[in-house]
Amino acid sequence: MKKSLTLRSALMAIAIASTPALIAAAPATTDDPFLWLEDIEGAKAIAQVEQWNGQTDRLLRAAPTFEQDRARARAILDDESQIALPDRVMGDRVTNLWRDAKNPRGLWRSSDLASYLAGKPNWKTIIDVDALGKAEGKSWVWHNADCLAPDYSRCLVSLSPGGTDADVVREFDLTTGQFVKDGFALPEAKSNAAWADRDTLLVATDYGAGTLTDSGYPRQVKRWKRGTPLSAATLVKEGVAADISVRPRAEQDGERRWTFIDRGLSFYASELYVEGTGGKLVRTPLPETADFRGLFDGQMIVLLNDPLGNIPAGSLVSWPIADVAAGKVGAPQLVLKPTATTVVEEVRATDHILWVKQLDNVSGALLAMTRDAATGRWTSRPVPLADKATVHLVGTADSQDMVFASVEGMLTPPSLMAAGASGPARTVQQLPARFDASQFTVEQRFATSKDGTRIPYFLARKKGVKGPAPAFIHAYGGFRAAQTPAYLTTEPYRAGPLGLFWVEDGNAYVLANIRGGGEYGPTWHQAALREKRQNAFDDLAAVAEDLVKTGVSMKGRIGISGRSNGGVLVGAAMTQRPDLYGAVIAGSPLEDMKRYSHLSAGASWVAEFGDPDKPSDWAFLSKWSPYQNVKTGVHYPPAFFYLSTKDDRVHPGHARKMAAKLMGTGSTVYYHEYREGGHSVGADHAEDAVRAALLHAFLTKELVDAKKK
């Protein structure tokens, strides 16, 4: 059913009122009339953003469920019963970043490992991020801390002003609980720093003109000695402007610390060097497309993304690191092969065990692998965790040969589990249920895409729901990033408990595992790369059409959602199939694929999408680039854009221009741009809770209420 003209007029009056006079006044100095919206902090662009924000707030905050949703989402996000995941284990101590209502930016704190494992940690605050920001007059957002093994007394703490990818790096002394006076410190930049030893860093940062790549990342790594100015650091490795980045890396293997330089040639190709005797750089035997996953028992552990001789793509292999550093390179040893349904996703090492997290038909599975030093033979032991669940390896206790894993499913509350050298994994902590799971069902289904490929998806809905109901699909489809089922209070990603709110209403929530991700390994990703991108859009449509065919939903009552790369996915989907979808949510999205490689970090993604400056690549990009495919005379499904002004990864101009162009067609557009938060959007839980409530109001209005008229 269509909206009544009266309701349509009312919505349009609020959502795109004065379509804006600010847009109409802009001179069309190029073939892109909205180019001025790329001026991130420009007064005119910000005035337009504030106008759109206000219109969306006035419309959606008036929804009868908004305040209840916002308060409930905030309570869930700030609940002090949340799991204190370890960000690292250092000897017999564990650290964690804790965020709640009183500490929105977080407390970096530590506990002894024994009490932590017993479920009764004795926390001691190391850095209060909120208090630090207040004292220094900065809007600090925590990034991470890198502490030097094996004594872990000195750390490099990274803090971002407002949540951008760029941050400052400062040396911190864990023994005194203070930043080191006249210690190592890097000004704001997209830096990478690694400890070579206590008095030496390898640093990639902005050293001035000509030291960044076209993607905006460092292209020089220098050795910086304590007590000398950064300007005196000596060059170790330099790339070229066309590289993605050049960055240092350090890995501890037993008593030996190894340092590496990774020269990123493209998003999926790099050259890896190890520092040998006297600091001499030695090119490792890793194929350019392979991923270095760490060191274990004197071995470099490597994941192949392309076949290597007779070894298939998706396999784990190893080389002896000492031989590599000495320039003695032999054939790799096979560690683990993939199967038709299982692929390697994460790898962690403790002193005597290599922990491998796999996906088995998109559900997490854990293996404990050991290597016989005499024969070099690898053996594995499965460690059961949960079915149809998301599993992430979140920390290791090296000398205890223990790995920590977070485990959750759509109806299974998150838990922290610990696995050791023998026996089953044990639960360290599990959150209490935040809803009655018995009223819902979750099942895995498969749709058939246009080319015959079977596409898995997870379907959550209320028991007893009959007949077609509104549905909401979240997907990503790119960069080898698999989408796995998380607890409904956090589905979909960066939207708080939106998934829970939606199924509680009697609607259907779907997580689609389309091609382009890593659900079935490298070939699943490559099937939607560059000129094959249309497969991802076809996969999403296949899932939606399967919902219609099986009676779960119906055309026009299916919403789609995606963030970042998922934003370009839903943008292309809505322009190709406006008949199929009834609402679109695009978070921090890519939209203008003609200019993306010239905006923020866009140049680094050419290997994923193609180079629009090359006519041969633009030939296929132009067929689906959302911004270029918005047509006058076509009425598109209502769209909601959310993003951050401070996003220095995906340029805010993408969402701004797409919103403006859609408004010009008479389509309904909602827009919410946070001023802080970076690519992750919300700088704290308060913003996350507002977003969840706004999105619920949007979906309800466009997929439920509007269809009743």
- Residue 321 is assigned to a structural domain of this protein: no
What CATH code is carried by the domain that includes residue 61?
3.40.50.1820
Domain with 523 in it: 5-75+444-708
pLDDT band per the 50, 70, 90 thresholds, residue 25: very low
- Between 77 and 17, residue with greater pLDDT: 77
Kindly list the distances between the CA atom of residue 501 and the CA atoms of 288, 472, 495, 573, 693, in Å, as whole numbers in the listed order: 45, 12, 11, 25, 9
pLDDT at 79: 84
- Residue 147 is assigned to a structural domain of this protein: no
| Helix, strand or coil, per DSSP, at residue 357 | strand
pLDDT at 682: 61
pLDDT band per the 50, 70, 90 thresholds, residue 708: low
Q: What value does the mean pLDDT take over residues 450-463?
A: 98
Kindly write down the DSSP assignment for every residue of 68-115, as one continuous string.
Answer: HHHHHHHHHHH-TTS----SEEETTEEEEEE--SS-SS-EEEEEEHHH
List strands edge to edge, sheet with 390-397: 390-397, 402-408, 415-419, 426-430
Q: Are the C-beta atoms of residues 345 and 518 closer than 8 Å to each other?
A: yes
Q: What value does the mean pLDDT take over residues 21-32?
A: 47
Q: What proportion of the chain, given as a percentage, has pLDDT over 70? A: 95
pLDDT band per the 50, 70, 90 thresholds, residue 709: low
Q: What value does the mean pLDDT take over residues 341-367?
A: 96
Q: Are the C-beta atoms of residues 160 and 166 closer than 8 Å to each other?
A: yes
Average pLDDT of the chain is 93
Kindly write down the DSSP assignment for every residue of 23-60, as one continuous string.
Answer: HHTS---SS-TTGGGG-TT-HHHHHHHHHHHHHHHHHH
pLDDT at 28: 39
pLDDT at 644: 94
Kindly list the distances between the CA atom of residue 368 and the CA atoms of 313, 320, 392, 415, in Å, as whole numbers in the listed order: 21, 20, 14, 19
- Residue 570 is assigned to a structural domain of this protein: yes
Q: What value does the mean pLDDT take over residues 48-65?
A: 97
- Between 45 and 27, residue with greater pLDDT: 45
Examine the residue annotation and report whether 651 is marked as an active-site residue of this protein.
Answer: no
Q: Are the C-beta atoms of residues 610 and 574 closer than 8 Å to each other?
A: no
User: 471-496: per-residue pLDDT in tens?
Assistant: 999 999 999 999 999 999 999 988 88
| Helix, strand or coil, per DSSP, at residue 256 | strand
**Length of the chain in residues, anyone?**
709
pLDDT band per the 50, 70, 90 thresholds, residue 31: confident
CA-wise closest residue to 145 among 99, 195, 182, 102? 195
Cα 124 to Cα 111: distance, rounded to the nearest angstrom? 6
- Residue 678 is assigned to a structural domain of this protein: yes
User: 641-657: per-residue pLDDT in tens?
Assistant: 999 999 989 999 999 99
pLDDT at 707: 65
Q: Which of 564, 600, 625, 644 is catalytic?
A: 564
| Phi and psi, residue 480, nearest 5° | 65, 15
Residue 412 has pLDDT above 50, yes or no: yes
- Residue 224 is assigned to a structural domain of this protein: no
With 0.75 as the threshold, say if the pTM is over it.
Answer: yes
Residue 17 has pLDDT above 50, yes or no: no
Least confident of 8-12, 116-120, 309-313, 330-334: 8-12
- Residue 668 is assigned to a structural domain of this protein: yes
Q: What value does the mean pLDDT take over residues 377-397?
A: 94
Q: What value does the mean pLDDT take over residues 679-688?
A: 76
pLDDT at 30: 59
CA-wise closest residue to 11 among 62, 59, 65? 59
Q: Which of 474, 654, 672, 679 is catalytic?
A: 679
pLDDT at 681: 63
pLDDT at 388: 82
Token pair listed for 343: 């692929």
Q: Are the C-beta atoms of residues 393 and 403 closer than 8 Å to each other?
A: yes
Q: What value does the mean pLDDT take over residues 448-464?
A: 97
Who contacts 489 (Cβ-Cβ below 8 Å, separation ≥6)? 76, 434, 435, 496, 497, 499, 500
Q: What value does the mean pLDDT take over residues 125-153?
A: 96
E strand map for 431-497 = 440-448, 454-462, 471-474
- Residue 51 is assigned to a structural domain of this protein: yes
E strand map for 470-597 = 471-474, 508-512, 558-563, 583-587
Q: What is the 3-state secondary structure (H, E, C) of 131-173?
A: HHHHHHCCCEEEEEEEECCCCCCEEEEEEEECCCCCEEEEEEE
User: Which secondary-structure segment (H or E) carries 263?
Assistant: strand 256-266
Cα 24 to Cα 33: distance, rounded to the nearest angstrom? 9
pLDDT at 163: 85
- Residue 52 is assigned to a structural domain of this protein: yes
Q: What value does the mean pLDDT take over residues 439-443?
A: 97
pLDDT at 14: 26
Query: How many domains does the structure of the chain reveal?
Result: 1
Least confident of 60-74, 79-93, 126-140, 235-249: 79-93
Examine the residue annotation and report whether 654 is marked as an active-site residue of this protein.
Answer: no
User: 565-608: per-residue pLDDT in tens?
Assistant: 999 999 999 999 999 999 999 999 999 999 999 999 999 999 99
Least confident of 67-71, 264-268, 448-452: 264-268
Kindly write down the DSSP assignment for every residue of 219-241, as one continuous string.
Answer: -EEEEEETTS-GGGPEEEEE--T
